[in-house]
Amino acid sequence: MSDLKEENYQGRLVGYARVSTQEQNLDMQLIALKKAGCAVIFSDKGISGKVFVRQGLKEALSVLNKGDTLVIYKLDRLGRNTFELLKLQRKLEHKQVHLRSLTQNIDLSNASGKLTFTIFAALSEHESNINGERTKGGMAVKKADGVRLGRPNKLTPDDIATIQKMIGNKDLSLAAIARSFKVSPKTIKRAIDSAGSQPD
């Protein structure tokens, strides 16, 4: 891990952390950024690295001034899109803001550091694409094995059978039936249509 100390730079050390899902934890990144001497830390939680419109990142970039340093734990925490990362690199250079990664030798103040940044940016996007392909492949295998993907059904087969009988009662409206099962009328219709399309 790089030995970053705030006194080594003219401006402030501004930290940024990100995790892709709400279940993931920011603690490791936040601890490392605080230990590095960041004066302030911004973060985003539950947002993919391919998405660059993020509130935390926007706020971090807005407070950076000439001579400041944007500190990240790892480049993929900043993003996983090579084109967008290179745009961000140019934006930081225009503002005369430094960039430091705590786990990678990235320093935009020299040609070697810029090359390292570009390589890691491409690797980060490649890793994201590989993970996406693995996920799709796993989903395809599960689907072939008959595993139902997506959110679980709100209505069980027994519920649907009961609803079909209730629909035959002209005194009960679809809305009333839906309320009794705590679902929307659209859910009732989809469940009935799905049940009707299944082979015996």
Radius of gyration over every alpha carbon of the chain, rounded to an integer in angstroms? 25
- Judge whether 184 counts as a catalytic residue: no
Catalytic residue among 20, 43, 124, 128: 20
Cα separations (Å) of 73 from 7, 26, 34, 99, 115?
19, 11, 11, 11, 19
Residues 123-151 as b/e (b if ≥16 CB within 10 A, e otherwise) read: ebbeebeeeeeeeeeeeeeeeeeeeeeee
Q: What are the residue numbers of the active site?
A: 20
